[in-house]
Amino acid sequence: MENKQSTDTIMMIRPVQFRFNEQTAVNNYYQKSIAGLSASDIQLKAAQEFDDFVKKLRSKKINVIVVEDTPEPSTPDSIFPNNWVSFHEDGKVGLYPMYAENRRLERRPDILEKLQTKEGRKISEIIDFSKHEEDNRFLEGTGSMILDRPNKIVYIAISLRTDETVLDEFCNKFDYKAIKFTANQTVEGKRLPIYHTNVMMCIANDLAILCADSIDDKEERKAVIESLHETNKEVIEISEDQKHHFAGNMLQVNGTDGKPYLVMSSAAHQILSEVQIKRIEKYCEIVSSSLDTIEALGGGSARCMMAEVFLPKA
């Protein structure tokens, strides 16, 4: 059973060889290469952004478990662990099938071992969905799935990285009900599926951030908004332009003192209107940090960098 929507403990992976990942760029339209930066410049900037972000989170009494990445094998996107693993209150761990071959190497048993031995967390069962990679079916963790944990609802935008067959298996194993839809973005004049649900949607205790305009099908859009209202969420809609600045890629995290925060990048924070900020701040303080290099080259933002740890203490 999952009672809490947000946790005070997150796991983050400190990058050692962060770079533009050509394998993910084929359908992550948020990635951009940065001219004039050497590989060591890029790594230096990404590590600095990472360290500043961790410092900010810890200053709010958020418990951050930092795991160092390994130089080999090469995993340029290891900074986004929420795609390969999810941790749950009953001690279950989900391991997920990844679209890019070099991202499959991010699944590290030693990290699960560390959570048990060094962090004193209990893992009761590991549910491994990665076999679906053999059939080119993918479900990229809490990038693909927005979990409303207390209500056992998963909101999911179907795409090449988010397969319905694997989703059905997840719902069966974790006892969730799925609300499926297609979320699109305009790329060179065409409407194409957004690669991860968590760039257009976020669910916190009492509010939801939603880029409703990206759900082109009116019935699907209505079903999503109705479900959010039925579960007592105040829905704060963002525009497609705001979504493009990662204003959907947010996560509510608590301090160990119980105080809730909505965590996002500086780019996301700056693109919000004053009205939107006031509506968010009715429920929780905003914490933002500059992630410009990581966002440009990685095509992911603050939410993608945090794997929430709900595992019980042993």
Q: Tell me: the pLDDT tens digits for 233-268?
A: 999 999 999 999 999 999 999 999 999 999 999 999
Q: What is the DSSP string of the chain?
A: ----S--SEEEEEE-SS----HHHHTT-TT----TT--HHHHHHHHHHHHHHHHHHHHHTT-EEEEEE--SSS--TTTT-GGGTEEE-TTSEEEE---SSHHHHTT--HHHHHHHHHTS-B---EEEE-GGGGGGT--B-HHHHEEEETTTTEEEEE-BTTB-HHHHHHHHHHHT-EEEEE--EEEETTEEEE-S-GGGTEEE-SSEEEE-GGG--SHHHHHHHHHHHHHTTPEEEE--HHHHHTTTT--EEEE-TTS-EEEEEEHHHHHHS-HHHHHHHHTT-EEEEE--HHHHHHHS--TGGG-EE--PPB-
Q: How many domains does the chain have?
A: 1
- How sure is the predictor about 154, in pLDDT bands with cuts at 50, 70 and 90? very high
Residue 144 lies in a domain: yes
Q: What per-residue confidence (pLDDT) applies to 188? A: 84
Residue 64 lies in a domain: yes
Domain that holds residue 288: 9-308
Q: Is the pLDDT assigned to residue 309 strictly greater than 90? A: yes
Residue 108 lies in a domain: yes
State the pTM of this model.
0.93
Residue 1 lies in a domain: no
- How sure is the predictor about 34, in pLDDT bands with cuts at 50, 70 and 90? low
Residue 104 lies in a domain: yes
Q: What per-residue confidence (pLDDT) applies to 286? A: 98
Looking at residue 162, which CATH number applies to its domain?
A: 3.75.10.10
Residue 16 lies in a domain: yes
Residue 136 lies in a domain: yes
Residue 314 lies in a domain: no
